[in-house]
Structure 1
Protein backbone atom coordinates (compact mmCIF):
# COMPACT_ATOMS: atom_id res chain seq x y z
CA UNK A 1 0.00 0.00 0.00
CA UNK A 2 1.49 3.31 -1.10
CA UNK A 3 0.91 6.44 1.00
CA UNK A 4 0.60 10.00 -0.32
CA UNK A 5 4.41 10.39 -0.38
CA UNK A 6 4.96 7.34 -2.56
CA UNK A 7 6.34 5.26 0.30
CA UNK A 8 5.15 1.70 0.67
CA UNK A 9 3.78 0.71 4.06
CA UNK A 10 2.88 -2.63 5.61
CA UNK A 11 5.25 -4.62 3.40
CA UNK A 12 4.38 -8.27 3.69
CA UNK A 13 5.11 -11.29 1.56
CA UNK A 14 2.04 -12.06 -0.53
CA UNK A 15 3.12 -15.58 -1.49
CA UNK A 16 3.83 -14.81 -5.14
CA UNK A 17 7.22 -16.17 -6.28
CA UNK A 18 8.04 -12.89 -8.07
CA UNK A 19 7.42 -10.99 -4.84
CA UNK A 20 9.75 -13.36 -2.98
CA UNK A 21 12.48 -12.87 -5.63
CA UNK A 22 12.24 -9.08 -5.26
CA UNK A 23 12.40 -9.26 -1.46
CA UNK A 24 15.34 -11.71 -1.55
CA UNK A 25 17.18 -9.57 -4.08
CA UNK A 26 16.76 -6.44 -1.97
CA UNK A 27 17.93 -8.25 1.18
CA UNK A 28 20.95 -9.62 -0.69
CA UNK A 29 21.85 -6.16 -2.00
CA UNK A 30 21.41 -4.58 1.44
CA UNK A 31 23.60 -7.24 3.10
CA UNK A 32 26.24 -6.90 0.37
CA UNK A 33 26.37 -3.11 0.81
CA UNK A 34 26.62 -3.51 4.60
CA UNK A 35 29.51 -5.99 4.23
CA UNK A 36 31.32 -3.71 1.75
CA UNK A 37 30.91 -0.79 4.15
CA UNK A 38 32.39 -2.78 7.03
CA UNK A 39 35.25 -3.94 4.82
CA UNK A 40 35.99 -0.34 3.77
CA UNK A 41 36.03 0.72 7.43
CA UNK A 42 38.34 -2.17 8.30
CA UNK A 43 35.96 -3.81 10.76
CA UNK A 44 35.02 -6.91 8.77
CA UNK A 45 36.56 -9.98 10.40
CA UNK A 46 37.28 -12.72 7.89
CA UNK A 47 38.71 -15.36 10.21
CA UNK A 48 42.17 -16.31 11.39
CA UNK A 49 45.08 -15.53 9.04
CA UNK A 50 46.43 -18.59 7.22
CA UNK A 51 49.84 -18.38 8.88
CA UNK A 52 48.30 -18.33 12.35
CA UNK A 53 45.78 -21.04 11.47
CA UNK A 54 48.52 -23.34 10.17
CA UNK A 55 50.61 -22.77 13.30
CA UNK A 56 47.69 -23.69 15.56
CA UNK A 57 46.93 -26.78 13.45
CA UNK A 58 50.57 -27.88 13.80
CA UNK A 59 50.59 -27.13 17.52
CA UNK A 60 47.42 -29.20 18.06
CA UNK A 61 48.37 -31.91 15.51
CA UNK A 62 45.22 -30.93 13.55
CA UNK A 63 43.19 -32.80 16.19
CA UNK A 64 39.91 -31.85 17.87
CA UNK A 65 40.48 -31.21 21.59
CA UNK A 66 37.20 -32.97 22.44
CA UNK A 67 36.82 -36.06 20.29
CA UNK A 68 40.26 -36.45 18.73
CA UNK A 69 39.03 -36.24 15.12
CA UNK A 70 42.07 -35.48 12.98
CA UNK A 71 42.88 -33.85 9.68
CA UNK A 72 42.94 -30.27 8.41
CA UNK A 73 39.70 -30.81 6.46
CA UNK A 74 37.89 -32.04 9.56
CA UNK A 75 38.83 -29.41 12.12
CA UNK A 76 38.40 -25.67 12.57
CA UNK A 77 40.13 -23.00 14.61
CA UNK A 78 37.99 -21.68 17.48
CA UNK A 79 38.42 -18.36 19.30
CA UNK A 80 38.00 -19.12 23.00
CA UNK A 81 37.26 -15.47 23.72
CA UNK A 82 35.30 -14.30 20.65
CA UNK A 83 36.71 -11.51 18.51
CA UNK A 84 33.46 -9.62 19.15
CA UNK A 85 34.37 -9.61 22.86
CA UNK A 86 37.97 -8.52 22.33
CA UNK A 87 39.52 -11.95 21.70
CA UNK A 88 42.75 -11.91 19.71
CA UNK A 89 44.29 -14.19 17.09
CA UNK A 90 46.95 -15.43 19.51
CA UNK A 91 47.85 -18.98 20.49
CA UNK A 92 46.42 -18.68 23.99
CA UNK A 93 43.02 -17.81 22.51
CA UNK A 94 42.88 -20.33 19.66
CA UNK A 95 42.12 -24.04 19.77
CA UNK A 96 41.56 -26.77 17.18
CA UNK A 97 38.07 -28.27 17.23
CA UNK A 98 35.89 -30.32 14.84
CA UNK A 99 32.74 -28.90 13.30
CA UNK A 100 30.31 -30.85 15.51
CA UNK A 101 32.10 -29.92 18.74
CA UNK A 102 32.50 -26.34 17.52
CA UNK A 103 28.72 -26.10 17.24
CA UNK A 104 28.32 -27.65 20.70
CA UNK A 105 30.73 -25.09 22.21
CA UNK A 106 28.89 -22.18 20.61
CA UNK A 107 25.61 -23.38 22.09
CA UNK A 108 27.04 -23.06 25.62
CA UNK A 109 30.20 -20.91 25.53
CA UNK A 110 30.27 -20.31 29.30
CA UNK A 111 30.40 -24.03 30.03
CA UNK A 112 33.50 -24.68 27.89
CA UNK A 113 35.49 -21.42 28.04
CA UNK A 114 37.60 -22.24 31.11
CA UNK A 115 38.37 -25.78 29.89
CA UNK A 116 39.44 -24.54 26.45
CA UNK A 117 41.55 -21.72 27.89
CA UNK A 118 43.44 -24.19 30.08
CA UNK A 119 44.16 -26.46 27.11
CA UNK A 120 45.24 -23.61 24.84
CA UNK A 121 47.56 -22.10 27.45
CA UNK A 122 49.09 -25.51 28.27
CA UNK A 123 49.70 -26.22 24.57
CA UNK A 124 51.19 -22.77 24.03
CA UNK A 125 53.55 -23.28 26.97
CA UNK A 126 54.60 -26.68 25.62
CA UNK A 127 55.37 -25.13 22.24
CA UNK A 128 56.71 -21.76 23.39
CA UNK A 129 59.90 -20.70 21.75
CA UNK A 130 59.50 -23.08 18.82
CA UNK A 131 57.44 -20.76 16.62
CA UNK A 132 56.01 -17.26 16.76
CA UNK A 133 52.60 -16.23 15.44
Structure 2
Protein backbone atom coordinates (compact mmCIF):
# COMPACT_ATOMS: atom_id res chain seq x y z
CA UNK A 1 0.00 0.00 0.00
CA UNK A 2 1.10 3.46 -0.85
CA UNK A 3 1.69 6.11 1.81
CA UNK A 4 0.58 8.81 -0.63
CA UNK A 5 -1.53 11.60 0.87
CA UNK A 6 -4.58 12.89 -0.96
CA UNK A 7 -4.22 16.66 -1.37
CA UNK A 8 -7.32 18.69 -2.23
CA UNK A 9 -5.44 20.94 -4.64
CA UNK A 10 -4.52 17.96 -6.83
CA UNK A 11 -8.11 16.72 -7.15
CA UNK A 12 -8.67 18.77 -10.30
CA UNK A 13 -10.22 16.28 -12.76
CA UNK A 14 -13.84 15.14 -12.73
CA UNK A 15 -14.44 11.41 -13.35
CA UNK A 16 -17.52 9.21 -13.40
CA UNK A 17 -17.43 5.63 -12.16
CA UNK A 18 -19.95 3.44 -13.99
CA UNK A 19 -21.24 -0.12 -13.67
CA UNK A 20 -23.47 -2.21 -15.94
CA UNK A 21 -27.12 -2.08 -14.90
CA UNK A 22 -29.33 -5.10 -14.22
CA UNK A 23 -29.18 -7.66 -17.07
CA UNK A 24 -31.93 -7.51 -19.69
CA UNK A 25 -33.14 -10.45 -21.77
CA UNK A 26 -33.51 -9.36 -25.41
CA UNK A 27 -35.32 -12.52 -26.57
CA UNK A 28 -32.10 -14.32 -27.47
CA UNK A 29 -29.69 -13.77 -24.62
CA UNK A 30 -28.97 -11.82 -21.46
CA UNK A 31 -27.29 -8.49 -22.15
CA UNK A 32 -25.96 -5.96 -19.64
CA UNK A 33 -28.42 -3.26 -18.71
CA UNK A 34 -27.86 0.44 -19.29
CA UNK A 35 -24.81 1.77 -17.41
CA UNK A 36 -25.46 3.08 -13.92
CA UNK A 37 -23.38 5.95 -12.53
CA UNK A 38 -21.97 4.80 -9.19
CA UNK A 39 -20.29 8.09 -8.42
CA UNK A 40 -18.93 11.30 -9.88
CA UNK A 41 -15.79 12.38 -8.04
CA UNK A 42 -12.96 14.87 -8.19
CA UNK A 43 -9.75 12.99 -8.90
CA UNK A 44 -6.03 13.43 -9.28
CA UNK A 45 -4.83 12.31 -12.71
CA UNK A 46 -1.47 10.56 -13.18
CA UNK A 47 -0.29 9.46 -16.64
CA UNK A 48 0.03 5.71 -17.20
CA UNK A 49 3.07 3.73 -16.20
CA UNK A 50 3.06 1.21 -19.04
CA UNK A 51 2.51 -2.52 -18.43
CA UNK A 52 1.48 -4.18 -15.23
CA UNK A 53 2.13 -7.92 -14.80
CA UNK A 54 -0.52 -10.09 -13.19
CA UNK A 55 -0.09 -13.42 -11.37
CA UNK A 56 -0.06 -15.18 -14.72
CA UNK A 57 3.01 -13.90 -16.57
CA UNK A 58 1.24 -14.35 -19.92
CA UNK A 59 -1.59 -12.00 -18.93
CA UNK A 60 -0.65 -8.31 -18.98
CA UNK A 61 -2.68 -5.15 -18.94
CA UNK A 62 -1.67 -1.73 -20.16
CA UNK A 63 -2.17 1.02 -17.61
CA UNK A 64 -3.08 4.22 -19.47
CA UNK A 65 -3.74 6.35 -16.40
CA UNK A 66 -4.15 6.31 -12.64
CA UNK A 67 -6.84 8.29 -10.84
CA UNK A 68 -6.77 8.96 -7.11
CA UNK A 69 -9.97 9.87 -5.30
CA UNK A 70 -10.90 10.39 -1.66
CA UNK A 71 -11.94 7.22 0.18
CA UNK A 72 -15.66 6.48 0.13
CA UNK A 73 -17.32 3.56 1.95
CA UNK A 74 -19.61 2.89 -1.03
CA UNK A 75 -16.63 2.59 -3.41
CA UNK A 76 -14.20 0.85 -1.04
CA UNK A 77 -12.43 -1.82 -3.16
CA UNK A 78 -12.26 -4.10 -0.09
CA UNK A 79 -16.06 -4.03 0.33
CA UNK A 80 -17.56 -7.47 -0.22
CA UNK A 81 -21.24 -6.86 0.58
CA UNK A 82 -24.02 -5.92 -1.81
CA UNK A 83 -23.41 -3.88 -3.79
CA UNK A 84 -19.67 -4.60 -3.98
CA UNK A 85 -17.11 -1.80 -4.00
CA UNK A 86 -15.33 -0.58 -7.11
CA UNK A 87 -13.75 -3.46 -9.06
CA UNK A 88 -12.42 -4.41 -12.53
CA UNK A 89 -15.97 -5.04 -13.84
CA UNK A 90 -16.62 -1.30 -13.49
CA UNK A 91 -15.32 1.49 -15.71
CA UNK A 92 -14.25 5.12 -15.49
CA UNK A 93 -15.49 7.88 -17.80
CA UNK A 94 -13.07 10.81 -18.13
CA UNK A 95 -13.94 13.60 -18.39
CA UNK A 96 -17.23 13.02 -16.57
CA UNK A 97 -19.46 13.90 -19.53
CA UNK A 98 -21.55 11.74 -21.86
CA UNK A 99 -18.87 12.00 -24.55
CA UNK A 100 -15.98 11.35 -22.14
CA UNK A 101 -13.54 8.53 -22.91
CA UNK A 102 -14.26 5.13 -21.29
CA UNK A 103 -11.50 3.31 -19.43
CA UNK A 104 -11.66 -0.22 -18.03
CA UNK A 105 -10.48 -0.60 -14.45
CA UNK A 106 -7.32 -2.70 -14.15
CA UNK A 107 -7.12 -2.45 -10.35
CA UNK A 108 -8.45 -0.39 -7.47
CA UNK A 109 -6.63 -0.27 -4.13
CA UNK A 110 -7.10 1.60 -0.89
CA UNK A 111 -4.51 4.30 -0.15
CA UNK A 112 -3.42 4.44 3.45
CA UNK A 113 -6.11 3.80 6.01
CA UNK A 114 -9.35 5.04 4.47
CA UNK A 115 -7.57 8.03 2.99
CA UNK A 116 -8.12 7.44 -0.71
CA UNK A 117 -8.61 4.96 -3.53
CA UNK A 118 -6.16 4.56 -6.39
CA UNK A 119 -7.76 3.40 -9.65
CA UNK A 120 -5.51 2.15 -12.47
CA UNK A 121 -7.30 2.20 -15.83
CA UNK A 122 -6.77 1.08 -19.40
CA UNK A 123 -8.40 2.14 -22.64
CA UNK A 124 -8.12 -1.39 -24.08
CA UNK A 125 -11.43 -2.39 -25.67
CA UNK A 126 -11.46 -5.89 -24.11
CA UNK A 127 -11.48 -4.35 -20.61
CA UNK A 128 -14.45 -2.09 -21.31
CA UNK A 129 -17.99 -3.43 -21.42
CA UNK A 130 -20.28 -0.87 -22.99
CA UNK A 131 -23.73 -1.33 -24.48
Fold match, TM over 0.5? no
The two structures have a TM-score, normalised by structure 2, of 0.25
Q: 1 or 2, which has the higher helix percentage?
A: 1
Question: Which is higher, the Rg of structure 1 or of structure 2?
Answer: 1
